[in-house]
Amino acid sequence: MVMFPNFGTRWNLLQRTADWMNGKDVAYVILAGALVDGRHIEKERKKLSQKINAAEKKIEALEALLDSTKAKSDNKKDAAVDRMAAEREISALNEKTAAYTGFLDELNVENMAKVLAKKIPAFRNRNGTVNLHVFLSPCHDKAVGEQVAEELKRLRDDIIVYPGSGRVQAEQAHQKTIEVLVPNRRPWYSAYDSTPVDRILNAHLAQSVKAPPDLYLIGSMGVNIDFPQHQGGSVPYVTVPSLFNFQYGDDDRYGHEIGAVVLTMTGDSPEPQVNLRSLNDFVADELRNIRLPSSLTKRQSRLIAELQGNKNAELTTGLLAKRTGLTENEVRKSLEPLVNRNYRRPKNWPGLRYDDGSRLWSLDKFGLSDLKYPPLFKDNSLTTDRLVAFGCPHFGSTRTTYEYALRGIPKSIIDSGATTMVIAGDVAEGNKHNLVEKREVYAGMWISEQEELAGRIIGRICLDVFSHRWSKTNVSGQRRLSPKDRDSVLKAVDEALISVEMIHGNHDDWQMEQGHEPLVITLACAKKFIAQRIFRMLEADGRHSFLATSIMDLIERKFHVPEDDGLFTLASGLKVGIIHPHMGGAKTKTIRIQSAMDMYQNCPLVIVANFHSAVSCGRWRPVLGQQFGLQLGTLKTGSAFEHFLMKSVHHGWAVVSLKSRKGRLIDVNSNFEHAPANHQPELDPKKPFKDLLKKLGINDDDLK
C-alpha cells in the first residue's frame, strides 16, 4: 500500500524498502494493491472543482458589482474605495483559483504517473534490475488507478501491472506459483487481523476453478500474518504490511503494520521463510526528521521543536506557552506567519496548521510525503537472537512423530544457529479422559514413563546439537588435558550446549491432582541423559574427572522453567512471554495469539501453544515497538478427539531469528517446519498386543 497521493504517502518508506531488499538479492518484487488512493483522488478532484467553481462565480459577481458601481455611483470617493476592495478580493480569488487549478492539474493521470515513475525506486539484485509487479486493488486504486498504472508502464519498463488479483510464476524460486490476492471491496475493520484476510481468501476459494497455487500472498490489509499448511494439505498464506502512514489516512480500515517482507522459498518445503522488516519506528518519529527553514527565528524554531517532540504532534497555545516560557500572545504572533492557507503550500517544509475549533497547532500533513528517514540500521549494529520453538509434543502419545522430530529439530537448530530451544507445554500426553483406554497412550505408559520418555527425547535433541557443535570447537579431540585447561574446555562445552526454556501445559498439569509436580522427572532425565553421554565423549577424548562437577553445573543452568508469569529473557535482553492457555481454539486464526500479545505488552516476542494450530503475526506498539506473536502447532499428526471435531492440526516447529537494537525489535525472520501433509502416525497402538501374540506363537503367521 503506497496510497498516492493520500496524506499518508511516504516516498522514503519505498526507498528504505528498496535499500533493504537490494541487499537481500531478491528475484521478484511485488506491490500487492493500493498503488494509488482512488477514493482520495476522486474526493480531492470533486472538492477542488467545487472550490474553483465557487471562486469563479464569486469573481463574476464582483466584476458585475464593479461594472454597476462605475455606472451608478454618485459618490466618486466611496465608489473608488469599493472598487479597490473588490479588485483586491478578485486578485486574491484569482490567486486561489490558479492554485486550486494547479492542484487539480497534479491529479490528472499523466502528472500522477510522472510522479510515481520518478519516486518509485529501482529494485536491483546482482544480475541487474528486478521487475516490480504491481497488483491493483479495485477498492483502493479504483478506475483512476488503472489509468495511472497504464501510463506508468509506458514510463517505466521495469514495472508490470495486473488489473486485480493474479498469479506470478516464480521461475527463479523453484518453479513456485504465488497467487496475489487484493480486495475488491474495502474490508470492514476487525479487532482480529485474520478476520478481513480470511474473508478475502474464503471468497476467492469459493469461486476459484484453478488448481491451487503454492502460496497465497494477500495485500492491502496492512497486517502481517503467516499461516502455514496444516495436515489436511491447505495452501499456506502470508499477508504483507503497508508502506503508508495510517495516522494520516482518512479511513480506519487500512491496518497497522508498516514495513515489508522478503519471502525465501525452497523446493523441499511448502512453507516460505518470512523476513519481516518493521518500519513503524521510522514513521512514529518522523516529525523529528523535518528540516526547518533557516529563515525561522529562534523563537519559532523553539516552538516547532516542541511540536516535533510531542507524541500527538499537536499542542494548544497555552501548552506551548507553558513549555517554552513565552506568553500566549507571543506564541500566536510567532506562529501565525507560518500557518499555511488552503491555497498555499511551502516548498521546503510542511508549514503549520491551526484549528480554530480545538485551538491546536500542528505541522501540516500536506507536506510530509517527501520526509527523509534515517538510513536503515546495518546488520552489524543489531543484536541477533536465534531460537527453535515447539509446543504440544505429547510424548507418550501414539500419534506423536518421534522419529521425524528427532531428525528434524536438531537439524533446524544446527542449520539456524539457534542458541535457545523453547518447549511450550503439554510435554507429556497424560492419562486423563480415558486416553489409555482409547489407545491414545502407547503401551499404556504411566505418567512417570511418559515424562522419562520426554526427558530422553529432549536430551537426545540437545546432545545431537552438542555433538555437532563440539566437533567444531578448538578443544575437541585434544588429549592429555590438565586442570589449567579447565576454563577453555568449559567455555567450549557451554557454547556447544543449547539453552532450554520449558513450561508445562494442561496435559502436564493433570498429575497435580495427585500431588505431583509436572516436568520434575522430565528435567531430571534430560539432564542425566546429556551429562552421561558428554562425560563418555570427554573420556574417549582423554578428559579427566576434574571437569565433571563444573559440567553438571553448566547443564543445570541450561534448563529453565519460567515462573507462572511465563517470562524469560534472551541473550540480547529481549523479554519473551510464553503461555499455554487452558482453553480451546477458535475459527478466528489470530484471536488467541493476539490476546496473548495484549497480555504481554512489554514483550517483543510472545509464544503460545495448546491449540494445535500455528500462525504468526506482528503488532507495533508505541512504547514497546515491534512485537511478534508466535502460535505453535503440535508434534502430533492429530487425535481422535480432533478428528471428530473436523479439525486438521498444524504439525511441526518454528525457527525464529530476532534482530534488535537497544531493546527494540527491528527484524524478524521466521518459518514453520513440519512433516508432509497427511503424514501417517509412526506407532501402531496395537503393537504390544501383536508382539505378545507373536511371542506366544498364537498369531496368524502360520496361515500366511
- Here the cell at position 217 is 500472498
DSSP strand pairing (653-661 vs 383-390):
antiparallel
What confidence score (pLDDT) does residue 85 get?
A: 81
Model confidence band, residue 30 (pLDDT cutoffs 50, 70, 90): very high
Question: Per-residue pLDDT for 43 more than 70?
Answer: yes
Count of C-beta atoms within a 10 Å radius of residue 576: 24
Residue-wise DSSP of 655-686: EEEEEEETTEEEEEEEEEE-PPTTPPPS--TT
Whether residue 490 has pLDDT greater than 90: no
Rounded average pLDDT over 353-361 = 88
Contact 653, 458 (CB under 8 A): no
**pLDDT by residue (tens digit) across 208-231?**
899 999 999 999 999 999 999 988
Choose among 453, 463, 451: nearest CA to 535: 463
Residue 368 and residue 7 in contact, taking contact as beta carbons nearer than 8 Å = yes
pLDDT given for residue 703 in this prediction: 80
By the 8 A CB rule, do 244 and 588 touch?
Answer: no
Q: How far is it, in rounded angstroms, from Cα 352 to Cα 553?
A: 63
Given a cut of 70, whether residue 321 has pLDDT beyond it is yes
Per residue in 260-275, pLDDT (tens digit) is: 999 999 888 889 999 9
Per-residue confidence (pLDDT) for residue 681, from 0 to 100: 81
β-pair type (176-181, 166-170): antiparallel
Q: Which has the minimum average pLDDT: 447-451, 455-459, 470-474, 566-570?
A: 470-474
How many Cα atoms occupy the beta-carbon half-sphere of 702 within 13 Å? Answer: 6
Residue 11's pLDDT is: 94
pLDDT of residue 365: 79
Structure confidence at residue 37 (pLDDT): 94
Question: Mean pLDDT across the stretch 545-561?
Answer: 86
- Within a 13 Å sphere around the CA of 638, how many CA atoms are in the beta-carbon half? 18
Contact assessment for residue 665 and residue 626, using Cβ atoms and an 8 Å cutoff: yes
Residues 6+ apart with CB under 8 A from 178: 30, 167, 168, 170, 213, 214, 215, 216, 217
Check pLDDT > 70 for residue 79.
no
Residue 493, all three cell numbers: 562445552
- 248 close to 8: Cβ distance less than 8 angstroms: yes
Q: What is residue 698's predicted lDDT score, i.e. its pLDDT?
A: 92
Q: Which one, of 585, 18, 614, 539, lies nearest residue 262 by Cα?
A: 18
User: How high is the pLDDT of residue 254?
Assistant: 63
pLDDT reported for residue 366: 77
C-alpha 648/C-alpha 678 separation (Å) is 9
Does the pLDDT at position 77 exceed 60?
Answer: no
- Residue that the C-alpha cell 509412526 belongs to: 682
Mean pLDDT of 275-289: 91
Question: What pLDDT shows up at residue 12?
Answer: 94
Peptide bond into 5 cis (omega under 30): yes
Q: Give the integer Cα–Cα distance in Å for 590 and 594.
A: 6
DSSP state of 9: B
H/E element holding 695? Answer: helix 687-696
Mean pLDDT of 190-205: 92
- Three-state DSSP state, 621: strand
User: What does the pLDDT average to over 121-126?
Assistant: 94
Helix axes 447-471, 486-496, angle to 10 degrees: 120
Instruction: Quick: pLDDT tens for 401-438.
Output: 999 999 999 999 999 999 999 999 999 999 999 999 99
Q: How far apart are alpha carbons 148 and 673 in whole angstroms?
A: 42
| Average pLDDT over every residue of 680-688 | 88
Which pLDDT does position 72 carry in this prediction? 58
Rounded mean pLDDT, 350-357: 87
pLDDT of res. 252: 59
Interval 238-260 mean pLDDT: 83
C-beta separation of 477 from 542 below 8 A: no
Would you state the pLDDT for residue 504? 96
**In this structure, what DSSP letter does residue 444 have?**
G
Is the pLDDT score of 71 beyond 60?
no
